[in-house]
A and B are shown apart, each in its own frame.
Chain A
Amino acid sequence: MNLATLTKDIHSAPTAPSGFVRRIGSLARAEALLLRRNPMALINALAIPVAMVVFLVTVEAGDSAGGSGRGPAVVTTLTAVSLLAVVYMGLVTALVARREELVLKRLRTGELYDAEIIAGTAAPAVAVAWGQMLVGVLAAFTVFGMGLPTNPVLVLVAIVLGTAVFVLFAVVTTAVTRTVEMAQVTATPGYAVPVLFSGLLFPLDLLPEPLQRVAPLMPMTPVVDLMHLGLTGRTPDGDTVGLGASFAPAAGPVLVLVAWVVVAGWAARRWFRWEPRR
């Protein structure tokens, strides 16, 4: 659907404005039931992120003396891992499964808009991911003694834009994924590349010079930068700033994320298929 027809449809819409919330909600409830009944998806959604964070925190605790720095690190790591394991991987699998079962084709015969079908299918995975982030934040405050964040708005922006980017990446990845099993292979680049350039696995100084320059343009790096900036006031350059001065250094990472949303959104429209290829 192009923009012209979309706006035409909106102007002629006779239904209540709450219609899309109801429609997405109904689909999301069904999708949540399916998630609950699929043990593999559930393990993927719940166990893997927790295990990875425990691992990373243990490694970091061995590296340094730990202390107050670990709270933000836990939250940031958990955010990144949730976006990749739960939102990205989970949604590639779910969308491919629904497409191959012809569920997506059927959903398009009703009143749901295309974007609502994606949103409803993605909602449970997004809810699980955001729930994990919330648990991470609570754990950071209580167990790791994290202080109040410098700029909570930037944390929310990082999470919302990061979610949008990885939902759209998942939609695009389904175009090259014929079966649920194949997702393990086809989703690897979308998983590995962002995480390698994020600075979470190793400091970006270790990368060769040209790659260091590319890193901030990768999709996970700005999420991590915004999380650091919002939680501790630490800029990508290594300075520490207060609330007022934290907005300016956020502009770059936000722009990069918006650019990824635009690019992935365009690619999703261009290549996403609603039915199996025959």
Chain B
Amino acid sequence: MDETSIISVEDLRRRYGKVGAGGFDAVRGVSFSVRRGELFAVLGTNGAGKTSTLEVLEGLALPTSGAVRVLGHDPYHSRRLVRPRVGIMLQDGGLPPDLTVNETARMWAGTLTSARPVEEALDLVDLRHRAKVTVNQLSGGERRRLDLAMALIGRPEILFLDEPTAGLDPESRQRTWRLVRDLLGSGTTVVLTTHYLQEAEELADRLAILHQGRIVRAGTPAEVTASQPAQVSFTLTADPPDPVPDLPGALGVDRAFGPGGSKMIVRTRDLQRTLGALLAWAGSRGLVLADLNARSASLEEAFLAVADAAGDRADPEVAA
């Protein structure tokens, strides 16, 4: 194990149901490690195996095979040693509806070895003003924030967040991101699953994209998106004197006719050179490139490309 890695996962497999046909392999040989102090994001479509993987790291489930170490221990069998140092936020709340926010947090704090004051935890997620409200009166977003507060009460070294911002409005999501960044700044390690690719792009130091129980891409967000072409888009309001030339580095040009003229999309492996040539061409002919937009590939594009490509591959194990 790498000295700086705080979590290591080697050839993790999880199988549900019967042995042989009829069972289902949710995780099929996943390996990765998480370094101390980083945010590691696990992405994937529904059923990709994100939660099944996370449950093993959290010590909630045993793997079918493979080795998992968290803080140097087996998280399932050495629960006593690992749990006081980690905070876990599950996908579904599991908060009794008839307790107040304060009572819920207090109950949880009472079960932990070194708990923050409840007020401090509620302040972190901006819920202190709702302390006397029962959980069934909270909005979905408020419940999610209470969940997060409870995961933070024990001052965890590692925080497991399973879709922490699902159902949050944009403002609460931003606030949660700020809080997660603050926690990273103070040295907390975070493992996060999310549907929101922008979330991973904003927060992740490194990420892995899971598809059908396997890691299909891994690396920093920049490394993962680098595999996808960048694009330049613009609208030509009038027909140019000569057609758009072959641009250096460009992979292809798509053209669509719309009400404001024809919209052009150029895909490229070398954004700077392609864009430079395009601007030189337009400048020399006095053309206006309306709605000009040039950008590298987003994680979302990389993700969709991966999901599409992997989906096309015939996979007898899944069909079984």
A122, chain B: closest CB distance, angstroms: 15
Interface residues of B in 39-87 (CB under 8 A from A): 58, 60, 77-81, 83-84
Q: Could you say which of B78, B94, B103, B154 contacts A12, with CB atoms under 8 Å apart?
A: B78
Q: Does B113 contact A (CB under 8 A)?
A: yes
Q: Mark A208-242, 1 if CB is under 8 A from B, else 0.
A: 00000000000000000000000000000000000
Contact A34 B98 (CB under 8 A): yes
A34-B96, A98-B96 known; A23-B110 Cβ under 8 A: yes
Q: Does B310 contact A (CB under 8 A)?
A: no
Q: Is the interface of B mostly helix, strand, loop or mixed?
A: loop
Instruction: Write out the residue numbers on chain A whose beta carbons fall within 8 Å of the beta carbon of B81.
Output: 12, 14
B166, chain A: closest CB distance, angstroms: 15
Give bound CA distance, A8 to B76, whole Å. Answer: 12
Contact B77 A8 (CB under 8 A): yes
Q: Could you say which of A15, A26, A37, A105 contacts B94, with CB atoms under 8 Å apart?
A: A105
Give bound CA distance, A22 to B79, whole Å. Answer: 18
A27-B107, A108-B60, A112-B111 known; A33-B99 Cβ under 8 A: yes
Instruction: Write out the residue numbers on chain A whose beta carbons fall within 8 Å of the beta carbon of B108.
Output: 26, 110
Q: Does A64 contact B (CB under 8 A)?
A: no
Instruction: Write out the residue numbers on chain A whose beta carbons fall within 8 Å of the beta carbon of B99.
Output: 30, 33-34
Q: Does B97 contact A (CB under 8 A)?
A: yes
Q: Mark A22-40, 1 if CB is under 8 A from B, else 0.
A: 1101110110011001100
A26-B110, A101-B96, A103-B96 known; A111-B84 Cβ under 8 A: yes
A22-B110, A102-B92 known; A5-B98 Cβ under 8 A: no
Q: Mark B98-128, 1 if CB is under 8 A from A, else 0.
A: 1100011011111111000000000000000
Closest residue of A by beta carbon distance from B112: A111
Q: Does A269 contact B (CB under 8 A)?
A: no
Instruction: Write out the residue numbers on chain A whose beta carbons fall within 8 Å of the beta carbon of B92.
Output: 102, 105
Give bound CA distance, A109 to B90, whole Å. Answer: 8
Give bound CA distance, A22 to B113, whole Å. Answer: 10
A103-B95, A106-B93 known; A9-B112 Cβ under 8 A: no
Instruction: Write out the residue numbers on chain B whose beta carbons fall within 8 Å of the beta carbon of A27.
Output: 107, 110-111
B47, chain A: closest CB distance, angstroms: 13
Closest residue of B by beta carbon distance from A99: B94
B82, chain A: closest CB distance, angstroms: 10
Q: Does B266 contact A (CB under 8 A)?
A: no
Q: Does A3 contact B (CB under 8 A)?
A: no
Interface size of B by CB at 8 A reads: 30
Instruction: Write out the residue numbers on chain A whose beta carbons fall within 8 Å of the beta carbon of B107.
Output: 26-27, 29-30
Q: Mark A163-192, 1 if CB is under 8 A from B, else 0.
A: 000000000000000000000000000000
Interface size of A by CB at 8 A reads: 32
B308, chain A: closest CB distance, angstroms: 28
Instruction: Write out the residue numbers on chain A whose beta carbons fall within 8 Å of the beta carbon of B79.
Output: 9
B249, chain A: closest CB distance, angstroms: 50
Q: Does A13 contact B (CB under 8 A)?
A: yes
Interface residues of B in 133-154 (CB under 8 A from A): 154
Give bound CA distance, A43 to B94, whole Å. Answer: 25
Contact A9 B78 (CB under 8 A): yes
Contact A37 B98 (CB under 8 A): yes
Contact B97 A101 (CB under 8 A): yes
Q: Could you say which of B78, B94, B98, B113 contacts A111, with CB atoms under 8 Å apart?
A: B113
Instruction: Write out the residue numbers on chain B whose beta carbons fall within 8 Å of the beta carbon of A112.
Output: 111
Give bound CA distance, A38 to B107, whole Å. Answer: 18
Contact B110 A29 (CB under 8 A): yes
Q: Does A19 contact B (CB under 8 A)?
A: yes
Give bound CA distance, A14 to B82, whole Å. Answer: 11
Closest residue of A by beta carbon distance from B151: A109
B46, chain A: closest CB distance, angstroms: 14
**Max chain B CB contacts within 10 Å: which of A12, A110, A112?**
A110
B59, chain A: closest CB distance, angstroms: 9
Closest residue of A by beta carbon distance from B92: A102
Contact A103 B112 (CB under 8 A): no
Interface residues of A in 104-123 (CB under 8 A from B): 104-112
A205, chain B: closest CB distance, angstroms: 48
Instruction: Write out the residue numbers on chain A whose beta carbons fall within 8 Å of the beta carbon of B78.
Output: 9, 12
Give bound CA distance, A29 to B84, whole Å. Answer: 21
Give bound CA distance, A68 to B92, whole Å. Answer: 57
Instruction: Write out the residue numbers on chain B whose beta carbons fall within 8 Å of the beta carbon of A102.
Output: 90, 92-94
A30-B99, A30-B103 known; A25-B110 Cβ under 8 A: yes
| 9 tightest Cβ-Cβ pairs between the two chains A and B | A26-B110, A106-B94, A102-B94, A30-B107, A109-B88, A23-B111, A9-B80, A37-B98, A111-B83
What are 20 inter-chain pairs, A to B, with CB distance below 8 A? A8-B77, A12-B78, A14-B81, A15-B84, A26-B107, A26-B110, A26-B111, A34-B98, A34-B99, A37-B98, A98-B96, A101-B94, A101-B95, A101-B97, A102-B92, A105-B90, A106-B94, A106-B95, A110-B111, A111-B111
Known: A12-B80, A13-B80, A29-B107. 8 other contacts (CB 8 A): A23-B110, A26-B109, A26-B111, A30-B103, A30-B107, A106-B94, A109-B88, A110-B154
